[in-house]
Amino acid sequence: MVEKNAPAVRLGRGFWIVTAVLAILAIASIVFWYVAPIYRWMHLPVAIATAKQVDQLSRFMLATGSALYIFVVGYIVYFAIAFRVRKSDPPDAIGIQIHDNHKLEFWWTVIPAAFVVLLSVLSIKIWYEITLAPSNGLVVEAIGHKWYYTFRYPQVNGEITNAMHLPIGVPVTLNLTSADVIHSFWVPAMRLKNDMVPGLVTQIHFTPTRIGTYQIICTQFCGIDHSLMHQQRFVIDSQANYQKWYHAWQVKNAKVSNALPSTSGASVNLAAGDVAAGKALFAQKCTACHAMAPFTTVKYGPGLLDVLHDPTHPNLVNGQPANPADAAAILEKGYTGTMGSMPNAVTNGLSSQDIANLVAYLNSMK
Ligand code: HEC
Ligand SMILES: [Cu+2]
């Protein structure tokens, strides 16, 4: 039962002591979040311009959030103790009932509302910069696959299957999509993340500000080998190194075939295989899953060094003798075994000539 004229609650000396202690703790927590090198502890360098602002916003939220948390929890604990049932109280005692304090209600509505508005203003400011499309700069494509990324560059026809390179200081528009299921593209050092959705191209914009090599992570559970999608790297080069890398990629790509993928039936003329072209193509299309290392060095698929000349490994994964014809058959048709799926020629984008070149290269490794 609520008493009509409840006696005014006196907040004793204890309340003010607790308030002073909580204020000191709250200030200490704010100082902590601003002074502690939290992003260094988390090994999170700042790779692009807006990453710094995201860090500042999250520091602000951590600082204000923990100060608030200390007061809320501190008062709950203090009041639970101060207004506990005492031995001397009658068994049917009820606590002092407080309701309708308009002054208090006004402030606990206005202050949090103003705080939420402040947070949204700060967030929208950063969001605006992230979504703002630069009028110039580089346009690169990143495509998610089960379970790796490929990258495409302007004026180059092929796909990069290892690391994505970008020059420092040049605004980038990154077009993201997926070839199969929903993946995502997250570079923690950029504090930027976007989903890669099949049939949809999404964009992110940023300007690299720090030379270095960073991890790319897929944050959508995209299938059995989802966890392998953190192997590729995001590299920010100096302008000169980027130009060198880009040029080399262009030249390499000019050497490898961009012919249409071989479809079943097209015969592979193994004698026409070119080792150098096969080597270039291998670096471009196979290194996401295979290392040029012994069979037991598994990246996603097995190591392919001396795959056709290893006496301890007389058969290929499909159970057929390890010879060029069988390697070509695996490259053409693909193969799914205990390690996973080796994509077929259509998925890998290989022409008959490409297969011949790759087999010549594999045959030359021993
Ligand atoms: C998406 C990952 C992936 C890509 C890309 C890929 N492979 Fe494979 N490959 C595999 C897997 C997995 C296996 C083993 C399948 C099994 O038996 O479980 C395999 C098996 C093979 C084998 C048989 C190896 C053996 O010891 O029997 C050869 C040869 C091969 N791949 C060559 C290539 C070449 C050349 C390329 C580049 C055009 C390539 N692969 C691209 C995943 C891949
Ligand atoms: Cu994925």
Ligand 1 centroid distance, CA of 290 (Å): 7
CA distance 19 to 72: 11
What pLDDT, on a 0 to 100 scale, did the predictor assign at position 353?
Answer: 86
Ligand 2 centroid distance, CA of 230 (Å): 9
What pLDDT, on a 0 to 100 scale, did the predictor assign at position 5?
Answer: 53
> Is 63 near ligand 1, meaning CB less than 6 Å away?
no
Tell me: the pLDDT tens digits for 309-349? 888 888 898 888 899 989 998 998 888 888 878 888 877 87
Give the pTM: 0.58
| Domain range summary for the chain, segments of one domain joined by + | 13-86+99-131, 138-255, 270-364
pLDDT exceeds 50 at position 2: no
pLDDT exceeds 70 at position 265: no
pLDDT exceeds 80 at position 270: yes
Average pLDDT over residues 299-316: 88
CA distance 96 to 198: 61
Give CA 124 to chain center in angstroms: 22
pLDDT exceeds 50 at position 258: no
What pLDDT, on a 0 to 100 scale, did the predictor assign at position 133?
Answer: 77
pLDDT exceeds 70 at position 227: yes
pLDDT exceeds 90 at position 84: no
Q: Please state whether beta strands 192-196 and 202-206 pair in parallel, antiparallel, or not at all (unpaired).
A: unpaired
One-character DSSP codes across 146-175: TTEEEEE-TT--S-B-S-EEEETT--EEEE
pLDDT exceeds 60 at position 266: no
What pLDDT, on a 0 to 100 scale, did the predictor assign at position 256?
Answer: 58
Query: Which ligand is nearest to the Cα of residue 332, counting in written order?
Result: 1
- The DSSP H or E segment spanning 149 is strand 148-152
Token digits for 74?
A: 């501190």
Q: Please name the fold of domain 138-255.
A: Immunoglobulin-like (2.60.40)
Average pLDDT over residues 151-158: 79
Contact 170, 136 (CB under 8 A): no
Residues pairing with 235 in the sheet: 165, 213
CA distance 221 to 23: 43
> Is 343 near ligand 1, meaning CB less than 6 Å away?
yes
Please, what is the average pLDDT of the chain?
87
> Is 292 near ligand 1, meaning CB less than 6 Å away?
no
How is domain 270-364 classified at the architecture level of CATH?
Orthogonal Bundle (1.10)
pLDDT exceeds 60 at position 257: no
What pLDDT, on a 0 to 100 scale, did the predictor assign at position 7?
Answer: 57
Ligand 2 centroid distance, CA of 147 (Å): 6
pLDDT exceeds 90 at position 350: no
> Is 300 near ligand 1, meaning CB less than 6 Å away?
yes
Average pLDDT over residues 169-180: 91
pLDDT exceeds 60 at position 351: yes
pLDDT exceeds 70 at position 232: yes
Average pLDDT over residues 205-227: 93
Tell me: the pLDDT tens digits for 35-61? 998 888 888 899 998 899 999 999 999
Determine what percent of the chain is predicted with pLDDT higher than 90: 46
Query: Which ligand is nearest to the Cα of residue 292, counting in written order?
Result: 1
Peptide bond preceding 33: is omega within 30 degrees of 0, i.e. cis?
no
Quickly state the pLDDT bin for 264 (edges 50, 70, 90). Answer: very low
Average pLDDT over residues 138-166: 87
125-129, 157-161, 262-266: least confident range: 262-266
